[in-house]
Amino acid sequence: MIYLSGTWSTELLELTTGADPIGVVVTPAHRTPRWYIENAHRAWGADNGCFAHPERFDLQDYIEWLDGLKWHGMTCLFATAPDVVGDARATWERSAPVFEKIRALRLPAALVAQDGFDEGKVDWDAFDTLFLGGTTAWKERHSEPACRTAKRHGKWLHMGRVNSARRMAIARRLGCASCDGNFLAFGPRRNLPRLRQMLENSDRQTDMFAIVPEPRPDVVQEYGRGDEMKAIEVLKRLEWTNWACPICGASKVGSGRIGTPSHIHRHGCEMAIAIGAQMEAQPQAVERAA
């Protein structure tokens, strides 16, 4: 599980290491997100800010803000399209025209799932990440069909507002590969060890919608958009220590979808990390198939 902190500081940057699966989630309201992303070299996500300040959202300003972050797209897990809190239908109508604008920046576009989400009434090919928003009740009790369908379509699954071990356990059970929250907002020095323990515990849990493909001994394959992708070419062997992803620092390959030697550690970007069955179980840098 990758945790994206909604708050960051030089102190947090000094306290965390490359082995910590801890990144940041940024919004247009943050003053210096680019500085932190450039210095941290960790996973990050872009949130539109509609939950906290829906009245302030301006699409043109948001796209221009994302444009300033696009050069760090390799470590980006998602950039959310605008949503309407608590209204799935209105969210789809608002988000659908924006996905291509986000993808044009070479960033993975995210749909924020809200109360009333109907997995049969969205175009799953139009976006890359399903972000579990909505009310607490919907997210915890009624989001399973959305999660199951998202996994079947090979989408990155993320849960917002995770600030407790209980919520993180729910996110992991639903198959989320990442989550965000403000657990480190107050006392990062004191709370960081607690967060590390929460993340370690969550990785021991079972993903109820885990995709377990049959290993292919001759090729490395990607599960990124639903069906099996074409075989992809291995570019070079990585020097890998402690099995930590060099992109986000996650301590286990797969980050929530571990289970086969052919699985790719996706980041919604041009490059990904994989282990080949006939490659001496060593991590490889691979390029996406067209």
Q: What CATH code is carried by the domain that includes residue 106?
A: 3.20.20.60
Specify whether 148 is located in the same domain as 36. yes
Q: What is the 3-state secondary structure (H, E, C) of the chain?
A: CEEEECCCCHHHHHHCCCCCCEEEEECCCCCCHHHHHHHHCCCEEECCCCCCCHHHCCHHHHHHHHHCCHHHHHHEEEEECCCCCCCHHHHHHHHCCCHHHHHCCCCCEEEEECCCCCHHHCCHHHCCEEEECCCHHHHHHCCHHHHHHHHHCCCEEEECCCCCHHHHHHHHHCCCCEEEECCCCCCHHHHHHHHHHHHHHHHCCCCCCCCCCCCCCCCCCCCCECECCCCCCEEEECCCCCCCCCCCCCCCCCCCCCCCCCCEECCCCCEEEEECCCCCCCEEEEECCC
Residues 224 and 100 in one domain: no
Residues 96-147: tens digit of each pLDDT? 999 999 999 999 999 999 999 999 999 999 999 999 999 999 999 999 999 9
Whether residue 241 sits in one domain with residue 106: no
- Using one digit for the tens of pLDDT, what is the confidence trace for 9-60? 888 888 988 778 999 999 998 866 677 787 777 899 999 999 988 999 999 9
The model carries a pTM of 0.73
pLDDT at 243 over 50: no
Q: Are residues 120 and 234 in the same domain?
A: no
Do 114 and 227 lie in a common domain? no
Q: What is the pLDDT of residue 13?
A: 85
Mean pLDDT computed over every residue of the chain: 76
- Give the model's pLDDT for residue 206: 65
- When divided into structural domains, the chain yields a total of 2
Instruction: Among 169, 203, 237, identify where a domain stops.
Output: 203
Residues 86, 199, single domain; the answer is yes
Structural domain of 250: 211-290
